[in-house]
A = this chain, B = another copy of it.
């Protein structure tokens, strides 16, 4: 990190000491020691609270993309119909991933600075195409936007779509995901965003409808969900679990629940408001369209005209601020300020915004 005093990269974020502390220990064998199973079960319960679900939550060793691939490959067969809500890099990315495994995908294609608003268009698409799965990204990190899940959930219910697959990697733990209320069958998450753990764990909440399809599709691979179906009951996991990684998830979830979900969500909203307020005062322009929903975990800002991203980034870093550029078509045009997990801290943001103000 060198001289960085405000790390506001939108994940991985700084890991709190209480989470890092789990790595001081040596544990036993996750294959043999009952203590591991107890930890796994207890962590599952905490993650259920954070996601707002009574569905089972599986945890796998790997970065968040593991859960995205695992969900699509575990549930889709070639020719299956999918409707993908695309409002940014990951929304379009998931559509492409589904296509790459043979699904037939129809996209609700919106510009990268939008969130779903004309729900009638989505409803028409779903009614006509009759998909087995709707995919959506809750928080589009590269755009700093948040898609409304409740409206999509209503369409899922009305049209009897079997599976609603939501990437909540950058929202879970920082704002309500409410997987059950939003009828989410596959709720996909990673450890390094609002949970403030290192980027080594994926966790996914799976509905009974999802488990039925997972059973039938019978996909096999490292990312496969099926081997986790009876893993706890039989104490037999498909590979050697990462005890430190589960312990880190547990510690991270504990911190969130001890603070209280409402308090954590409020802290994130306030961080967003502070951040948007400061950048607007500086005369900078938000990337998200005015009517698009902004995410409490990350703010995307248009790079000022005639500004070179590499130079701008270097200037910020030389003064101790780490921010991020963006991806895909947004690269070089948008920069991003993370305020997720341990970053949702007004004092830290104040330090960062003061540096930003001195650079622009």
Residues of chain A having any CB pair with chain B under 8 Å: 1-2, 4, 7, 9, 11-12, 14-15, 20, 23-24, 26-33, 35, 61-66, 68-70, 73, 97, 100-101, 192, 198-200, 220-223, 238-245, 322, 324
Chain B positions within 8 Å of A199 at CB level: 30, 61, 240-243
The one of B23, B62, B192 that contacts A62, using a Cβ cutoff of 8 Å? B62
How many copies the complex holds: the figure is: 2
13 pairs, CB–CB < 8 Å, chain A vs chain B: A1-B27, A1-B33, A12-B30, A29-B322, A61-B200, A63-B241, A65-B222, A65-B238, A69-B222, A100-B220, A198-B244, A198-B245, A223-B223
Q: How far is the CA of A242 from the CA of B62 in the complex (A)?
A: 9
B70:A222 contact, CB within 8 angstroms:
yes
Task: Point out the residues of chain B lying under 8 angstroms from A69, CB to CB.
Answer: 221-222
The 3 closest A-B pairs by CB, nearest first: A23-B23, A65-B239, A69-B222
Which one of B12, B28, B221 contacts A223 once the chains associate, using CB atoms below 8 Å? B221
A242 and B28 contact, CB distance less than 8 A? no
A198 to chain B, nearest CB (A): 5
Given contacts A223-B222, A240-B199, contact A322 B61 (CB under 8 A): no
Asked if A240 contacts B61 (CB within 8 A), the reply is: no
Flag if A29 contacts B324 (CB, 8 Å): yes
Decide: A192 and B65 in contact? CB cutoff 8 A.
no
**Residues of chain B within 8 A of A7, CB atoms compared:** 28-29
Question: With A15-B26, A28-B4 in contact, do A222 and B62 touch (Cβ < 8 Å)?
Answer: yes
Contacts of A240 in B (CB 8 A): 11-12, 63-64, 192, 199
Name the B residues within 8 Å of A223 (CB-CB).
221-223
Instruction: Give Cα A63 to B31, complex, Å.
Output: 13
* Residues of B contacting A14 in the complex (Cβ-Cβ under 8 angstroms): 26
| Chain B: minimal CB distance from A63 (Å) | 4
**Chain B residues closer than 8 Å to A242, beta-carbon distance:** 63, 198-200
CA distance in complex: A30, B200 (Å): 13
For A192, the chain B residues whose CB sits under 8 A away are 240
**Max chain B Cβ within 10 angstroms of own Cβ: one of A7, A68, A238, A242:** A242
Q: Which residues of B contact A9 (CB under 8 A)?
A: 28-29, 31-32
Is B30's CB under 8 angstroms from A26's CB?
no
Q: Which of B2, B12, B15, B243 contacts A198 (CB 8 A)?
A: B243
Min CB–CB distance A334 → chain B (angstroms): 15
| Inter-chain contacts of A221 with B (CB < 8 A) | 69, 73, 221, 223
Chain B residues with CB below 8 A from A15, complex form = 26
Extra A-B contacts (17), CB below 8 Å, given A61-B199, A222-B223, A223-B223: A11-B240, A12-B29, A20-B24, A23-B23, A28-B322, A30-B199, A31-B324, A61-B62, A61-B63, A61-B200, A62-B66, A64-B239, A64-B240, A65-B239, A70-B222, A198-B244, A199-B243
